Amino acid sequence: MMNKMLEKLYEQVKSASKPWWLPVLSLLLTLHGILVLGWNVQPVAVIFWYELILLFAAAFIRMLFALDGGSFFYNLHVRLLLLFGAGIMAGAMIILSVAFTFRVFDSGVNTEGFARVYTQTRILALGHLLSLGFFYFGKGQFRKAQPFDQLVPTFVQVLILLALLMALTMHLIPKYPQLNQAMWTGVALVLVKFVVDMGFNQAKTTRLG
């Protein structure tokens, strides 16, 4: 019985065009930190910054190796120019995300709330590496992928997340200061991010399918 369940799960993962489990992994790790390890909003913000870096890094790697049916050196100069321009834009977005969320540190850094953050970040990084290795390179998606298509969804996704983040940290929290370190503020932020992540994940899967 257990072997059949594992074989079925393996076939689902093998036949999937995108790693549907990445948003779920992010959700579970962050909720574990909030509900079990006692995280406040501060480590949630740090995890959010870190995930943005992972998202952009994965998008840059996909774009750089998107061969569009040619060899690696085909249109390499175009990909390098895209990498340069996209890197500047990504840096600006990460700075904006830090600026939007830095308000949660107004009362000082609560070091006790950062239990096992380092472990969670390593697991997230491993998840993205497995995604690239198994789905993008292992399944040969990079051979026909178009460079520009690897960047646009990620930038749109991050723009939506930044807009929601700004609404929370620049408007809602200043109006209700008691929400600044509330556990449920972190939970709400994580759930909103999960919905956005899953929406974009499903949209990418539909396009590839």
The domain ranges of the chain are 22-201
So what's the pLDDT on residue 175? 60
Mean pLDDT, to the nearest integer, of 5-16? 51
Structural contact between residues 117 and 33, judged by C-beta atoms closer than 8 angstroms: yes
Mean pLDDT, to the nearest integer, of 25-45? 85
Taking the chain, what is the end-to-end CA distance rounded to the nearest angstrom?
Answer: 30
Determine the Cα–Cα distance for residues 13 and 19; give it in Å rounded to an integer.
8
So what's the pLDDT on residue 131? 87
So what's the pLDDT on residue 18? 59
Quote the Cα angle for 150-154-155, to 5°.
Answer: 110
Quote the Cα angle for 10-11-16, to 5°.
Answer: 100
Sign of CA dihedral 138, 144, 148, 153: negative
Using one digit for the tens of pLDDT, what is the confidence trace for 79-102? Answer: 999 999 999 999 999 998 888 777
Share of the chain above pLDDT 70, in %: 75
